[in-house]
């Protein structure tokens, strides 16, 4: 029995090798996962041309996945530096990498990325359109945009952010609102500008069926972009955001009708007390499709520390139903992140995802924490470093001020509570002054 996409296979009751692998790694029965993929509540982005991919599932009942953004910009043209970031992302277990390159030889960089990366690869085709087509924005046609989508699909991109929800209806609501931060989505702002300059409807909305046909051909998952996401706390959960989200719900159903898998992208900046309601609203309006969030950043005043504001929001979002976290680095709002920023962003996002999985009761989520507790009880430092999310950093901290007693650290020394309890429960005396 033939099939084009993971969703079509699932609807026909076919357990693909990707579904089988995801089920095994997530400790889920194949038939349970099959039903979730068929209903669109789990997506397995895996382009037929991405041969190096390690398939991952995103959605209900699965571990929260994280995405790492990178890519070339006009101010930072260093392909080797970006490839170093790719290798770092893979080393630290990022399940997804988005190439947001918008300058130079994007095709060559993307081809190398797809050839070597086991992580899912995502792109935003509208970023690449100006450079790829060598045209000014206002001169690009609807068919030109679709041409870039096809090029990315043929190369092996697993999912694409497509800002199809910012149509004329949503744009009119945005224009009437007078937001604090207007549109902060790069792709959304470009399409809004294109619509204003040409007088045309959003090409990805107007030619949505043609777009879906391209994505279906290569089993590319559509990530429905949130052009009108809030870029500051004052704009969160406003009419513009909800209007676009309503459009994304309709577009989700149209994609599923063509067996195209869907992710729905979510808010950027949002106060803590609004996050849970937003997650539930998205799941309701978008029919349970996997939710992919940038942050949310829970305050606007921490440039240089936005990996922390994002991790706080991401943990709450994922615990409340989000399935996929886009990392944020300390360089957010300030510059293109360097490799150290990338590491900080990955680790913060991994912590948020893991904390949420524990809260959601995902199978196996507590296993590492249990191993860490057992190692700490034994004061087994090597095992602690092996289990830690960033064992290299933990070891460096520990060894930077070596303890006199190997069974403690330099914080507590012989007064270490764990050491004290191990001794006293083992029938030994605790003599702090005389012990050597």
Residues annotated as binding site? 69, 98, 127, 163, 185-187, 226-229, 265, 269, 292, 333, 409, 412, 416
Residue 122 CA to chain centroid, in angstroms?
Answer: 10
User: Binding site for [4Fe-4S] cluster: what residues are annotated?
Assistant: 409, 412, 416
- The total of other beta-carbon atoms located within 10 Å of residue 295's CB is 29
Buried residues in 325-344 as b, exposed as e (16+ CB within 10 A): bbbbbbbbeeebbbeebbbb
CA dihedral 381, 386, 391, 392 (to 10 degrees): 90
How far apart CA 87 and CA 68 sit, in angstroms, is 11
The owner of tokens 């997506």 is 43
User: Binding site for Zn(2+): what residues are annotated?
Assistant: 269, 333
Are the CB atoms for 352 and 318 separated by under 8 Å? yes
Q: At 204, list the tokens.
A: 């990805």
User: Binding site for substrate: what residues are annotated?
Assistant: 69, 98, 127, 163, 185-187, 226-229, 265, 292
Are the CB atoms for 125 and 204 separated by under 8 Å? no
Q: What is the DSSP letter of 376?
A: H
Write the CA distances from 354 to 41, 140, 311, integer angstroms. Answer: 20, 43, 11
DSSP 196-265: HHH-PPPHHHHTHHHHHHHHHHHTPEEEE--TT--SSGGGTT-HHHHHHHHHHHHHHHHHHHTT--EEEE
CA neighbor of 145 nearest in space, from 133, 161, 158, 159: 133
How far apart CA 282 and CA 228 sit, in angstroms, is 14
CA dihedral 320, 334, 240, 129 (to 10 degrees): -110
Are the CB atoms for 317 and 296 separated by under 8 Å? yes
How far apart CA 240 and CA 235 sit, in angstroms, is 9
122, containing H or E segment: strand 120-123
The owner of tokens 């030619």 is 207
The owner of tokens 């430092």 is 381
How far apart CA 69 and CA 294 sit, in angstroms, is 11
Check whether the bond before 111 is cis (ω within 30° of 0).
Answer: no
Q: At 135, list the tokens.
A: 């045209």
């Amino acid at each position: 029995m033939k099939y084009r996409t993971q969703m079509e296979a699932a609807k026909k009751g076919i357990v693909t090798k990707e579904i089988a692998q995801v089920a095994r790694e997530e400790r889920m029965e194949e038939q349970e996962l099959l039903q979730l993929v068929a209903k669109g509540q789990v997506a397995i982005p895996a382009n037929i041309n991405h041969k190096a991919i390690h398939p991952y599932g995103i959605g209900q009942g699965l571990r929260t996945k994280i995405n790492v953004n990178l890519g070339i910009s006009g101010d930072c043209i260093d392909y080797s530096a970006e490839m170093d970031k790719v290798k770092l992302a893979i080393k630290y277990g990022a399940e997804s990498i988005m190439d947001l390159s918008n300058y130079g030889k994007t095709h060559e960089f993307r081809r190398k990325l797809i050839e070597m990366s086991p992580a899912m690869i995502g792109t935003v085709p509208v970023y690449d359109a100006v450079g790829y087509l060598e045209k000014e924005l206002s001169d690009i046609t609807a068919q030109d945009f679709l041409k870039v989508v096809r090029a990315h699909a043929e190369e092996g991109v697993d999912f694409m952010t497509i800002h199809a929800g910012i149509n004329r209806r949503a744009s009119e609501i945005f224009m009437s609102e007078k937001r604090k931060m207007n549109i902060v989505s790069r792709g959304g702002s470009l399409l809004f500008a294109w619509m204003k300059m040409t007088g045309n409807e959003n090409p990805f909305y107007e030619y949505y069926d043609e777009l879906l046909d391209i994505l279906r051909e290569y089993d590319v998952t559509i990530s429905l972009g949130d052009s009108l996401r809030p870029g500051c706390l004052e704009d969160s959960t406003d009419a513009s955001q909800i209007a676009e989200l309503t459009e994304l719900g309709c577009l989700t159903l149209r994609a599923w009708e063509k067996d195209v898998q869907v992710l729905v992208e979510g808010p950027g900046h949002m106060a803590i007390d609004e996050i849970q309601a937003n997650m539930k609203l998205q799941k309701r309006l978008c029919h349970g499709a996997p939710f992919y969030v940038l942050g949310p950043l829970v305050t606007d005043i921490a440039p240089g520390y936005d990996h922390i504001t994002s991790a706080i929001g991401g943990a709450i979002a994922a615990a409340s139903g989000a399935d996929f976290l886009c990392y944020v680095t300390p360089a957010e709002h300030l510059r293109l992140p360097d490799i150290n920023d990338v590491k900080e962003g990955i680790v913060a996002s991994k912590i948020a995802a893991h904390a949420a999985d524990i809260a959601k009761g995902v199978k196996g989520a507590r296993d590492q924490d249990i191993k860490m507790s057992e190692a700490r009880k034994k004061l087994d430092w090597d095992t602690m470093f092996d289990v830690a999310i960033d064992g290299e950093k933990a070891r460096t901290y520990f060894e930077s001020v070596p303890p006199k007693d190997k069974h403690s650290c330099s914080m507590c020394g012989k007064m270490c509570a764990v050491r004290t309890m191990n001794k006293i429960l083992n029938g030994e005396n605790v003599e702090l002054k005389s012990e050597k």
